[in-house]
Structure 1
Amino acid sequence: MSATDGTEGDPGGTGGSDGAAKKQRSFWKELPLLIGIALLLALVIKTFLVQAFSIPSDSMQNTLQQGDRVLVDKLTPWFGAEPERGEVVVFHDPGGWLDGEPTPDPNAVQKFLSFIGLMPSAEEKDLIKRTIAVGGDTVECKKGGPVKVNGKALNEPYIFPGDTPCDDSPFGPVNVPEDKIWVMGDHRQNSLDSRYHTQDANEGFVPVDKVVGRAVVVAWPINRWATLPVPDTFDQPGLSAAVSMAPVGALSVAGAVPLVMWRRRRLTSGRTAG
């Protein structure tokens, strides 16, 4: 079998050019579909997986700088996971935290790109802080001292150089309700965080259902690329709140009841058999 040059059965030699033209037209017909699929994928990713956010202020220095773009994991909360101590989280304004802040006025293109997730939203009123304590924790900070969670002092190397843990606004001890978190900025002397909103409806706490997700990566600018891991200080032994003995006792009793009933049946059946 011999190879052909692609013109067999086309004496005029025009078949190849007609095929190329059809392929060209086919591409342009499919292009809108491809664009539509790409935009749909971007929207799905933004809604359920990852979203970009822009850092609007200096309250998280030096961990984050104003103008940084971070990628926020939105998937994990869909599976019921709640913020953990030490995580940097993005959350919707829980009520009045951003009152008086200027609201940007993006153009139509910026709004569209924000809608599909290709640009950070300029209109949503979101904040970014570090989770210090979670539901069930007790958190406090006295002037001149460290932040303490459940009695354990935090070593906080992420605090902005020259800042103190809380000398500008000491607080506590504060008991964090279930389904809420206590947040603070890394630039402690330049962050209107939970400490400054204790008179609000939420008493300074952020409801978990207001949390958009955890910031995991600084994606832009390129020379600022970095991950945002949980600092080691939040892994120290004994940091978790003590487990109440009442539930443990109830579980012990509940587990013992079937065993007692089984033993009584064995003894009763043994006496009957005897």
Structure 2
Amino acid sequence: MGDLAVGARSGHDGPEEQPERVDGSATPATSEDVGTGSDSGDGGGTKEHGEQDEKPKNPRSFWKELPLLIGIALVLALLIKTFLVQAFSIPSDSMQNTLQQGDRVLVDKLTPWFGSEPSRGEVVVFHDPDNWLAGEPTPNPNAVQQVLSKIGLMPSADEKDLIKRVIGVAGDTIECENSGPLTVNGKALNETYVYAGNTPCSVDDQGGQFKVTVPAGKIWVMGDHRQNSLDSRYHQQDKYQGFVPVGNVVGRAIVIAWPPTRWNTLPIPDTFDQNLSAAAPGALGLAGAAPLVLWRRRRLTAGNPRVSGRGTAG
């Protein structure tokens, strides 16, 4: 038979009989009956039918994977910057001591997507409403800084953004008299966040004394360093009368992220927890109209003897 082993041997000498078909004829040998293993003399085992030699796959080199990982990281950073959180740098002292020049803050950009509007007491970043930053020096970042700022890993240098505290929202009446306190809808604010040595209201400059009512869709903002902040008070002659359109608000600053020694959250101060809401216009109108109606009623009653005090005709 040569070197190829065919099938299994029976207990007797001679060729093994082929199994029979259903019709009684002998079934011819097939390739499945023939071992595909090694020669009888090499001591190796046989392999299953159809099994092929497979070489182990070598893992891809780290350096080949690195560009893909960087690409994924950049896409994620861009998405986070666009929809979730963005870093901003503090370029001036107008928000001292809450924020210092050089601080990096993280701004929540997600909640405005769900219709949330700024609230009193929040520190917000907003686009320049009407050339508030005229004359301010513009940073000149290098190429690397420009790339990092576009994906949100560094503060943007070319965007005209400001950061202030929201003092009033639509419907609020805000007033400053003498050195303060600042009032919102007639209620005084205890502004512990105002820079030490400053007064809540300025008396030595134009704009420091005011009384304004915030229109719909706008906010009134002021810096915590009251005597060193060109905020809503000093832009009452622009096209928005110093108010900031809600649509210009990028988001709320929620945390100081850099430097590590300055890490802190930026909560709403307790003074804004008091009920500062303005009275509803309808309620004010009713309260104002009631005395007039009573006065007119008494006049008609006194001048007409046919009208009784109960208001029915005689």
Query: What are the within-5 Å matches in structure 2 for residues 1-274 of structure 1?
Result: 22-25=58-61, 27-167=62-202, 168=204, 169-237=207-275, 239-245=276-282
Identity percentage of aligned residues? 73
Deviation at 1:170, TM superposition (A): 2.6
Deviation at 1:166, TM superposition (A): 1.4
Unaligned segments of structure 1, at least 5 residues: 1-17, 250-274
1:102-159 per-position Cα deviation (integer Å, ceiling 9, x unaligned): 1111111111000000000111111000000001111010112211100000000000
SS of 1:114's equivalent in the other structure is helix
Deviation at 1:247, TM superposition (A): 11
* TM-score, length-scaled by structure 2: 0.70
1:220-261 per-position Cα deviation (integer Å, ceiling 9, x unaligned): 000100000000101113x11112227999xxxxxxxxxxxx
SS of 2:59's equivalent in the other structure is helix
Unaligned segments of structure 2, at least 5 residues: 1-54, 287-314
Which of the two has higher C-alpha Rg?
Answer: 2
C-alpha distance in 1 between matches for 2:198 and 2:254: 24
SS of 1:30's equivalent in the other structure is helix
SS of 1:23's equivalent in the other structure is coil
C-alpha distance in 1 between matches for 2:126 and 2:170: 16
Structure ranking higher in helix proportion: 1
C-alpha distance in 1 between matches for 2:60 and 2:116: 49
SS of 2:146's equivalent in the other structure is helix
CA shift in 2, pair 1:165/1:248, >3 Å: closer
SS of 1:158's equivalent in the other structure is coil
- Of structures 1 and 2, the one scoring higher in RCO (CA 8 A, sep 6+) is 1
Letter in 2 for 1:245: G
Number of positions where the alignment pairs a residue of Structure 1 with one of Structure 2? 230
1:161-193 per-position Cα deviation (integer Å, ceiling 9, x unaligned): 000011244333201011100000000000000
How much is the aligned-residue C-alpha RMSD, in angstroms? 2.0
C-alpha distance in 2 between matches for 1:234 and 1:161: 20
SS of 2:250's equivalent in the other structure is strand
SS of 2:197's equivalent in the other structure is coil
C-alpha distance in 1 between matches for 2:272 and 2:82: 30
C-alpha distance in 1 between matches for 2:84 and 2:285: 37
C-alpha distance in 2 between matches for 1:156 and 1:247: 28
